[in-house]
Structure 1
Amino acid sequence: MFTDTSSSTTVYLLTERDSILAPVCKQLAVFGFEVIPFDHATALLAAMHGKAPFAVIVDGETPGLDLDFHVPLIKRLAKGPLFLSSVGEPVSRQIALLRLGVTDFVARPLPLQKLVARLDELLDQRRPEPFRVLVVDDSESMLRWLDKVLRGAGMEVFKTRSPLDVLLLMERHRPEIIILDVYMPECSGDEMAHIIRQQPRYDGIPIIFFSTEVSRNKQLVARSMGGDDFLVKDTPPDELVTAVSITCERYRRLRQWMTRDSLTLLLNHSTLVEQLEQAVQVCQRNREHLTFAMIDIDHFKSVNDQYGHLTGDHVIQSLARMLRHTAPTQALIGRYGGEEFGIALPGIAPVLASRYIDAVRQQFKAFPQSGNETVFSSTFSAGVSTLAAGMTTQQLMENADLALYQAKRNGRNQVVLFNEAEHHAPPVTPGRRIDDPPGR
């Protein structure tokens, strides 16, 4: 159930052996990428004939490299992105290289954190989640047509004939766009858009009005009530799909900047708490399991002191990446602050959730970290709590924090499941201790 869902990723690196880019092999390996270096374009092309990599990084300073000749050949064999690392290429030259096949330009030396973030973004694009669309129209035939067109384009569609159900459906399905008819018997589309915009958490969700109205003035009046676009109902299917896709993609990007931690790409603190509160309400109402875990990297200050803050960032990123790529799809994962993480698992019983967190703990401990030309391992401690009837979000989080504190007192590098009767419980991994003093 809790297995690594990421596919194997191989990155080919073209650079001379003693280049300042050579260390990127070890650096990217820390984040789970297999990096294979080549010091000549011919060797790179030969390898690509046998196995196409996920991405190719080309050092523009590699001896014998002719970008105008080799880039088209590399791009022809590459199925993924082609990065070019160079120094100060003028815009005109970048445009020319873009036309030849370069997809990304990166500085020299490589900005590792930005490169990993970009590679992770491209990985996510390779297995994209379908856009979630809420369609509201009082015509059953129009709902069926929209459902057929949008589902045919790979989108997830939720539909209703009653605009009065919109807020309930938004809470239940978390759509990324709303397609709203303007003229409906219960209320007009612009009135419903105005109501939606009064809800702070829904203020940014795109709304497209979809109507027979052709008067430009009336369309603009409707948009002034909270709509982002206006399409008439004779819009061709391909144009409708394109408009919805562009709007959803822009919304996702903007939302990522607003809700994600820039270092880890996980939910930021405020967004994690907000979404956890929503999950608590849903699980309480439906009487479903909800487990919450607090994770804290052990002795993180020592990592920063001994290896530097850049290495500390790499340790944080490596754990974040493990959580992102191993958690079930319904999980809410966030960077709680500093070296601390929170993960909510709706629908997962506490024992199963504890086993999953412990599996990540073992994987993280075995993961080779590197700093100052040395390899070391890092560990974390975790506290797990489960939602009980009548419990608030704050109580759920406090219980997880108490269990985390108990894990630290027990010697770290373990997972503790909160027990209300005892205020602590034996660790999930009994007997595992680290020979150092207690405390965070």
Structure 2
Amino acid sequence: MADAKEKVLAQLRALRAQYAAELPNKLQQLRSIATRLNLQWDDELFRTLHRQTHSLTGSGATFGYADLSHAARDLELLLKTILESGVGSQHPGIKQIDGLLAKLERAGKIPASSTATAEPAIFQPRTQRHSIDPDKRLIFVVDDDTNIAHEQCLQYELHGYKVREFHEFSGLQAAIKKDQPLAIIMDVVFPEGDLAGIEKIIEIRQSNTDFPPVIFVSQREDLEARLASVRAGTAAYITKPIDLSNMIETLDRLTTVDLGAPYRILIIDDDASMAYHNALMLQRAGMETEVITEPGRLLDVLPVFQPELILMDLYLPGCTGIELAAVIRQHEAYVGTPIVFFSVETDISKHLAAMRAGGDDFLIKPIAPDHLLATVESRVQRARTITSFMIRDSLTGLLNHTAIEEQLERELGLQQRHDGVLSYALIDLDHFKQVNDHYGHAAGDKVIRGLSRLLRQRFRQTDLLGRYGGEEFVVVLPASDATLAARLLEEVRNDFSRIQFTAADKAFTVSFSAGIASAPPYNSAFTLQEEADRALYRAKQAGRNQILIAKSH
């Protein structure tokens, strides 16, 4: 972590040094443009003067030149007034340009503030951006009933957790400090008292500042016990007999960090120094960025990078940010992509115009790193949530039928372009109708969620998981042949068949069958699905609870 932090600080120092080296030339360009305008007026040249002054207004303070930003702001406001007047060289404010430009040149000679490279608040991440090593998914179970505790622990292990049992309080505090479990499942009632489990947690917590979430379990359902658990800082309270599905969902929620893919942010700004500075800030927070300094590249970059959010300056060469936003919104694929404008512009009417053109937010330069990060994170997360409702199955969170079909086509094309291999598995729960008939549809939903949870735990992030509907599931495994896919699914099948589900205090188990086809030899989505379905049918006919690979013709 320290090395990564120092690397970013070094990159920031390099950007600052580059900005300082380029600043005299930027000021000289402004003076040259002003001189040419005095000799012969040109509307396009005047717009260039305004745009370059606008860039200095936003970038100066970011790189430690606060006086430069203030001086550039004064000149930029005058140029903007002249620009919007429509009278050009006839505007009386023309005479003030030379004086304000001289003031700007003097400000450019003031050394940069030494605080410009101080560590920004962005280096204190709001959330830990790391995944949990499966070997470290350790939980503690504290229960004096050894038989029940042992049976529950076996079920937790089937769901990917490492479990350590305690049947008394002795050694618990030292183990928590040494092994740092992700969560503790603590019974409430012990021989020491009817609230002994809660009292012990309160005692241990007092000497441990970094304490894992605690799930209290008990046959007690009264208010006294529940209030005591709340005062002890409980994360959840589950009554006995324990509903395994509920417990696993609670554990997953408390211990799993679902980072998903990095946010993809497109930055459009003709000021390269500012663009790469903002890109570095976002990269430090774990995001992927692409920078465009020439608006003409936009239509080439969009389909390749597929941004989840676009950060765009309001003033650009050849067009305005508002015009470019309108172009982006002409493409159906980017109608919902958040666009956040940034500028030194404080005119509310300009902000409103940007919003009407399809903008979602407006940030005023210079932008504090924390403000930038918070805006980007909240906008992308909201966009992902909305997209998730559209493409994910509501019961399981897996890709829905349409989405998994589209992803299969995309992955198949990608693998074929690189002469790779891909496997497609069709999974079907065995005798699922009987589960619904005997135990009810709520129990059936638990089974479906249980299998989807196990699939998410066992497969890679690059593998695609979907639900066709009912009891049918799909797994697409890029870069995996049928033999590897069958071995992975066999492990899942074996563990799933041992998981106990409960309904009306009755325990039951469920199995599944699966058929697998791979490309090559089957090189279209249709034939993959057809051959996997045939293999699944053979597995059902052969007695169910097994995995079969499609036969080569």
Hey, which of these two has a bigger chunk of helix by percent? 2
Deviation at 1:35, TM superposition (A): 4.2
SS at match of 1:329: coil
**Cα separation, partners in 2 of 1:255 and 1:312, compared to 1, 3 Å:** same
Structure 2 Cα separation of the partners of residues 74 and 40 of structure 1: 17
Q: How far apart in 1 are the matches of 2:228 and 2:378?
A: 26
Q: Which amino acid aligns with 2:482?
A: S
In structure 1, C-alpha distance between the alignment counterparts of 2:521 and 2:297, rounded to whole Å: 29
Say what the alpha-carbon RMSD is for the aligned residues: 4.2
Residue number in structure 2 paired with 1:369: 499
Opposite residue 477 of structure 2, the aligned amino acid is: L
CA shift digits 1:150-198 (9 cap, x unpaired): 1222222223334465566454444432222232235443344444445
Normalised TM-score (structure 2) = 0.61
AA at the equivalent of 2:145: R
Cα 1:25–1:196 change in 2 (3 A) is: farther
Instruction: Give the counterpart letter for 1:336 in structure 2.
Output: Y
Quote the residue 1:438 is aligned against.
none
Out of 397, 405, 415, the position equivalent to 2:548 is: 415
Q: CA deviation at 1:381?
A: 1.8
* SS class of match (2:262): coil
Give the counterpart of 2:156 among 25, 28, 39.
Answer: 28
Equivalent in the alignment of 2:519 = 386
Cα deviation, residue 363, structure 1: 0.7
C-alpha change, 1:251 and 1:25, in structure 2 (3 Å) is farther
The answer for the alignment partner of 2:173 in structure 1 is 45
Specify the alignment match of 1:436 in structure 2.
none
What residue ranges of structure 1 are gaps of 5+ in the alignment? 423-440
Written as runs of structure 1 = structure 2, the 5 A alignment for 1:106-125 is 106-108=237-239, 112-125=244-257
Shift of 1:215: 1.8
Is the 1:380–1:414 Cα contact (8 Å) retained in structure 2?
yes
2:360 to 225, 228, 232: 228
Q: Deviations over 1:379-409 (max 9, x none)?
A: 4222314278994x45543443344334445
Contact 1:48-1:77 within 8 A present in 2 as well: no
Work out whether residues 424 and 477 of structure 2, in 8 Å CA contact, stay in contact via their aligned partners in 1. Answer: yes
Q: Is the CA contact 1:41–1:65 (under 8 Å) kept in the aligned structure 2?
A: no
Q: 2:485 maps to which residue?
A: 357
Residue 125 of structure 1 aligns to a residue in which SS? coil
Q: Residues of 1 paired with 2:515 and 2:168: CA distance?
A: 47
Which 10-residue stretch deviates more, 244-253 or 275-284? Answer: 275-284
1:176 paired to 2:308:
yes
- Once the two structures are superposed, residues 56-94 of structure 1 have per-residue CA deviations (whole angstroms, 9 ceiling, x without a partner) of 23455662437577347348365543335685869x969
Q: Rate the CA distance shift 1:395–1:370 in 2: closer, same or farther, 3 A.
A: same
Change (3 A) 1:353 1:172: farther
**C-alpha distance in 2, partners of 1:5/1:380?**
29
Q: Deviations over 1:97-140 (max 9, x none)?
A: 4xx644x3345356644543343345441766533322222332
Q: Does 1:55 align with 2:178?
A: no
Paired residues for 1:41-440 under 5 Å:
44-59=172-187, 63-65=194-196, 67=198, 70-71=201-202, 73-74=204-205, 76=208, 80-84=212-216, 97=231, 101-102=233-234, 104-108=235-239, 112-125=244-257, 129-163=261-295, 165-166=297-298, 169-197=301-329, 199=331, 201-280=333-412, 282=414, 289-302=421-434, 313=445, 315-346=447-478, 348=479, 352-367=480-495, 368-371=498-501, 378-386=511-519, 391=524, 393-394=525-526, 396-409=528-541, 412=544, 413-417=546-550, 419=552, 422=553
Which amino acid in structure 2 is aligned with residue 320 of structure 1?
S
Name the SS for the 1:328 alignment partner.
coil
Q: Distance in 2 between matches of 1:342 and 1:356?
A: 16
Distance 1:72 1:133 in 2: 47
Residue 548 of structure 2 aligns to which amino acid in structure 1? V
- SS state at 2:134 partner: coil
Return the letter of the residue paired with 1:333: L
Structure 2 alignment gaps of length 5 or more: 1-131
Tell me the amino acid that sits aligned with residue 214 of structure 1. T
Task: Give the partner amino acid of 1:147.
Answer: A
User: Bigger CA drift: 130-139 or 335-344?
Assistant: 130-139
Residue 51 of structure 1, CA deviation: 1.9
1:322–1:18 CA distance, 2 compared to 1 (3 A)? closer
Matches of 1:192 and 1:400, distance apart in 2: 46
Q: Alpha-carbon deviation of 1:234? A: 0.5
Count of aligned residue pairs for this structure pair = 408
Deviation at 1:307, TM superposition (A): 7.0
Question: CA 1:338–1:258 in structure 2 vs 1: closer, same or farther (change >3 Å)?
Answer: same
Contact 1:296 1:339 in 2 (8 A): yes
Contact 1:261/1:267 (CA < 8 Å) preserved in 2?
yes
Secondary structure of residue in 2 paired with 1:344: strand
Q: Which moved more, 1:141-150 or 1:163-172?
A: 163-172
Distance in 2, matches of 1:417 and 1:164, equals 49
Tell me the TM-score normalized by structure 1: 0.74
Which shifted more, 139-148 or 260-269?
A: 260-269
Change (3 A) 1:260 1:69: same
Structure 1 residues 162, 322: CA separation in 2 closer, same or farther (over 3 Å shift)?
A: farther
Distance 2:306 2:295 in 1: 16
Aligned residue for 1:369, secondary structure, equals: coil
Question: Does the 8 Å CA contact 1:211/1:231 hold for their aligned counterparts?
Answer: yes
